[in-house]
Structure 1
Amino acid sequence: MSEAKWNLVPLTPEYIEDEHGGYVAELENALKNDEIRNIALSGPYGVGKSSILRELARRHKGRVVELSLHLPNASLRQALTASLG
């Protein structure tokens, strides 16, 4: 049996200034506003959410809490959304 060669690439977050810098800048502006207590960053898989949050956390050590939540089931998403109001 021959061994198949796979071209696997890591999917670990990678910050790319040209792609993510504008989002980080806007989040930094939001952090300057004392009235803003919660910030949600959402989007489809692979658009750079984790990369953006990791860069923000790196720049603001001790001020950022990273929470990752994945709801693969649409009914779970709807139930959570309804329960949060």
Structure 2
Amino acid sequence: MSPRQLAREVRKFELPVVPRLGYSQQDVDDLVSRIVAGLEGKGPAVDRREIVSFLSSPTLSSPGYDSSSARVFLTNLFGLMGRI
């Protein structure tokens, strides 16, 4: 998969929002936007270590993105970024 193909797939993905504490939607959206920009060559590449750092100390908010879904999505994205 090329970086641009991965960016297209990431853009299509929607995380579920929950009414309880979850990952901050703004923080996740900001990180994902920067990742997509990097994959498309429209911004600096996001180092995969930044994803690890984000996952180790996420900001929580209510409502927010479902924590489990966000972790799986970002972990999978981390893996895919390592293959391109």
Range class of TM-score, shorter chain: 0.3 to 0.5
TM-score, normalising length from structure 1? 0.32
Q: Is the helix fraction higher in 1 or 2?
A: 2
Larger gyration radius, structure 1 or structure 2: 1
Larger relative contact order (C-alpha < 8 A, sep ≥ 6)? 2
